[in-house]
Structure 1
Amino acid sequence: MALATTTDAVRAWTEGWALSRGAAEPVPQPWGVTIDIGLPKAVTRHVLFDSYASDEATVRKLLRADSAPGTWIKFVEPPEAVAPWLADGWEYDTPGHLMTLALTPGQSAPDVPAGYTRRSWTRGGLTRVLVLAADGSLGVRGQVAVTGRTAVVDQVETNAAHRRRGLGTLVMRTLQACAAQQGAEDCVLGATDEGRALYTTLGWQRRSPLTGIFRP
């Protein structure tokens, strides 16, 4: 398995996430990576690997060195690991979970339920999938970024008016099939609590917590 350790998983996640969001290539740092995003509310993202979130000197130095508005920091640790050193002006993002799935070679996308249509396109290693209702409104969307042997599922969102109809499962299995067909062997994603419940039923495994902080 390519993602033998949590560090392998978080490295794969940062690479695929950067491709998915159209961000810069992750720049290696002694404690993890830095990703330039360039949006007003998300200028730069730092991701700490291993146990660096529990290292007081590393966390304090990073909080002092880059405290500009739009700075984000992600830790593969629970919130309490960084809480003792959180400086004024930083806020918590929604808690998350780093999850992985070993892909099945040759798997195919499932059929679409009656009354819906599926559209997809791939550009530069990023595949987007839309499932539309009969009136053309969005039922569910999602995307997957393939970076070699690993892929990152991202931005999966179901329209509230179309929930509990199996569309989340449909788009996830479609994205997984797309990744496998492009040669990926493992998938990674960052899940919310709500998303984690769905992904677990599909065979995904939780590897670690994901804690984010940011400067608004």
Structure 2
Amino acid sequence: MDGVVQAWVTGWAVSRGAAAPEREPWGFTIDVGQLAHVSRHVFDALGDGVDEEAVRKVAGSVTGAGVWLKVFQDPEVVGGWLGEGWWVDPEPGFLMTVPLTAPAERPAAPDGYRMRTWTVGGVTRMLVAAPDGSLAARGQVAPTGVTAVFDQIVTVAAHRRRGLGSVVMRTLQAVAAATGAETGVLAGTPAGRGLYESLGWHVQAPLTSAKFVGPDAG
């Protein structure tokens, strides 16, 4: 999919209430404004197209803690490009996409669970509450035109294997399709990849997440 990285960063910024992405020669910078996540640099090349020199140069210019890099290549590769002070998540993420179509009918949660969706600032959030009122599952989607970014999809461990993740994803897919979005985009974890693939999502590239913690962070 052409422009998949731009679609992801645009929707992610809307989903998280971050600043609009700023275009860079190598990708995008997003100001987030949190103590442990001040900003992030996202490279727009995928896989073998990632420029090692560009990653090294951007990483070498970072001196403040809380700055993240997002590189669409395997962590074992990217880790060797980064200098002292960088923490690299050893588990790869996955940039994934899916064609969006509205389901014939909205999915329903298992008996005893309560579902609710609401939209604020262009972001639709979904809650699935357990019978005792505690959180069972959640997720959100930010449509930004022909694409929509799915974000923060979580199923609490005690409520897994009950179809709640599928309920959340299918509900948000219906919401996004109703806005006219044609393609869904997300950055998934190894734990979530199986669910997404079972729902028709496809991996476009691995994703390395790295955070600058400073040379004296141990």
TM-score band by shorter chain is over 0.9
- Counterparts of 2:25 and 2:149, CA distance in 1: 24
How far does residue 215 in structure 1 lie from its aligned partner after superposition? 1.1
How far does residue 74 in structure 1 lie from its aligned partner after superposition? 0.3
For 1:187-198, what aligned pairs fall within 5 Å after superposition?
Answer: 187-198=184-195
Aligned to 1:37: 32
How far does residue 191 in structure 1 lie from its aligned partner after superposition? 0.5
Q: Conserved in 1, the CA contact under 8 Å of 2:102 and 2:173?
A: no
Q: Which range moves more in the overlay, 78-87 or 142-151?
A: 78-87
Question: TM-score, normalising length from structure 2?
Answer: 0.92
Aligned to 2:106: 109
How far does residue 53 in structure 1 lie from its aligned partner after superposition? 7.3
Aligned to 2:51: 55
For 1:1-216, what aligned pairs fall within 5 Å after superposition?
Answer: 4-5=1-2, 8-50=3-45, 54-93=50-89, 94-105=91-102, 107-216=104-213
- Counterparts of 1:70 and 1:215, CA distance in 2: 6
1:99-138 C-alpha deviation (Å, 9 max, x unpaired): 0010114654212221111111001210000011222111
- Counterparts of 1:138 and 1:82, CA distance in 2: 36
The size of the alignment, in residue pairs, is: 211
- Counterparts of 2:49 and 2:154, CA distance in 1: 29
Question: TM-score, normalising length from structure 1?
Answer: 0.92
Alignment root-mean-square deviation, CA: 1.6
1:41-62 C-alpha deviation (Å, 9 max, x unpaired): 0001000011597433312221
Change (3 A) 1:108 1:27: farther
Q: Conserved in 1, the CA contact under 8 Å of 2:62 and 2:212?
A: no
Q: Unpaired segments of 5 or more residues in structure 2?
A: 214-218
How far does residue 159 in structure 1 lie from its aligned partner after superposition? 1.3
Same amino acid, percent of matched pairs: 53
Residue identity opposite 1:207 in structure 2: Q
Q: Conserved in 2, the CA contact under 8 Å of 1:53 and 1:75?
A: no
User: Equivalent residue of 1:50, what SS?
Assistant: strand
Q: Unpaired segments of 5 or more residues in structure 1?
A: none
How far does residue 86 in structure 1 lie from its aligned partner after superposition? 1.1
1:8-31 C-alpha deviation (Å, 9 max, x unpaired): 111111111111111000000000
- Counterparts of 1:137 and 1:80, CA distance in 2: 38
- Counterparts of 1:60 and 1:69, CA distance in 2: 17
Aligned to 2:216: none
Residue identity opposite 1:85 in structure 2: W
